[in-house]
Structure 1
Amino acid sequence: MFMTDARPGIRKFCLLLLITFWVRPAWAVPVTLATVQKSNWSRTIPVMGQVESVGMVTLTAPMTGRITGPFPPTGTIAAGTVIAHVDAPGLQARLRAAEAQVEYARTALRRDEQLLKDGVVARATVEASRATYEQALGNARALRAVAVDQALTAPFTGNIRYLIAPGTVVAAGTPIASISGRAQPWVEALVPPELAFRLHPGEPAALRAHRWHGIGRIHSIGSSARQSGLVSVILHLPPHAPVLPGEWLSIQLQTSERPVLRVPAAAVVMHGAKPLVYLDKHGRAQGVSVRVLGVEHGVAYLSGALRPGEQVVVSGSTRIRAHSPLEIRE
């Protein structure tokens, strides 16, 4: 019988061991890890809101022009009091020209009606004269309405505060004066329903207007969405806030806190259109889909199939795939 030499087999086995322990680090991805942690998280919602009031109104210029009196003294004024006039440039001249055009068209119409009776002109001529007269009359009425709108009157009894000086030339829509009654102003903002249910009455909100900022509080949240699909949120203004009805404010709403998980933002990678993180599972990468709720100061707040205490890949996460071998570095 011939004895088979076992030494070549031993050499092959040793070679495989060398490959396993020496070659693997050459293709394992060097990474650093971070621990998944519990955290509380709230979301800041930037929205726009408008100041509203039943007992407060801001009178604005109905047209471009120069503001003239009477400008009653600051204090309480009665409903119907004329506060100021807006002298629109050229308005009176245009009104006089329009009235003259009405008189001319009326005279022409009467003349053509008489000529029709005499059989000199056709009925179509009279109809054309009548259309010209009615058009001139409409133009004059429109200008008279504009002239009436020049007067700014108090819609109710209240305290008046002037916002510009007499003689100022203003554009249409410029605030002239504000009148405050007994009611206090508030702010209305509109938010999506999925965010509205996480807001609660009494929570603070940062308010900012031109050259002013303050803290308001949520008064109430609508129970259903409007036709626009948004939910109304009513906020109280701080005392003596220098804002006017109709003014728009920038608002920062803060949602109530909820328990979430936090990891370094660098641990989150995109796989197609889905965010995920890679866990270290016995030296190999395991991808886990997550939902990113927010990112602040380099920290990502997540929800998903993660557990506190698990190790996620931070540096090197963009170079690995599922089941990639990992070389853990401190």
Structure 2
Amino acid sequence: MIACFQPVTRGIAAAACVLLILATAGCAKKAEKPKGRPPALVVTAAATQQDVPVQLRAIGTMEASESVVVRTQISGELVRVAFREGQDVSKGQLLFQLDPRSYQAALRKAEAALARNRSIMANSARDYERYSQLVREGIVTQEQAEGFRTRSESAAADVAADQAAVDNAREQLGYCTITAPISGRLGVLAVNRGNVVKANETVLVTINKVSPIHASFTIPEKELPEIKRRMAAGKVAVQAELAGNSGTEQGVVSFLDNTVDPTTGTIRLKALFDNPGKQLWPGQFINLSITLEIRKNAVVVPGQAVQTSQKGQFVFVVKPDATAEIRPVTVGPAARGMSVVLTGLKPGEQVVIDGQMRVVPGGKVEIKQPEKPAPPRAGQPEPAVKSGTVGASAR
């Protein structure tokens, strides 16, 4: 009996094991729930409302308001240099002295010739007067008297020529002393004492007037109407940023060129700065800005919040339920790290400034603290910038 029921018992046990395994697997499947997409970690910032100055920015080159290359007007030996390189000089201040001896001799010679011919002219005049009297008395003929008149006139002409020679010699002697034609800063001394210089050829030194000073720069031609309108209304203020964040200098637009460069689509302007502390220097590159207008109550967001797609620019707005909404926006001028939003956004709305690649429209987001403080702060507007050399943002 026992031998007959032993196979049946083993089969029942095996079937029971299979049923137990299937039941366990089924329970496990019922316990598992489908996993959803985790919230995207993002950094946000609030859209703020500020009065933003809209500025046209450009890179300019500083130029001396006056620049004179000093040359000698006569030839001779340079016997004195009366300044130090790089010093400031005033108009009329002595700079150089040439050897005057040969020019002094030439002046004395011209003065001697003048004195001789003046004596001849005086004698000729007396002779003519005497012969004129003799003609009236009938002692000599009119022709004889006319000869003395001619001699007198010739002597007078010689005196005039000698006087011109004296004036020229005196002027040449004066050129031996070279003074500063303008006030300004001296450059490098080009010729040392003891050298022989040639008239109108040898450069001695260059003087640059740096106070006031000009900045030369270009702006896109599309900004020309606005600049002309503001120049017609009054002075157009220009701000120059000093090197090393050491401050700014205030100036005004002093020149607008009469032609747009067709190859670059830009027009040249100049700004004049008083430069009392001589912080600006000729040849220096400088960042310039012209304030065109003040946008009242402009909506401003950090520039990194604005994204671009084939359909245009947009931002991710975080809604109160912690979901992200894609919002098309119209962006105005760019500020320093900021963007002015013209349409599509309201003050106070939270926009994503970091983590946009992880955001899905309509998906959940989790806000984390930024590693660095957000650049904008309410009540401290940055100027909205329009580039004057590379390009310009739309208004």
TM-score scaled by structure 2?
A: 0.42
Larger Rg: 2
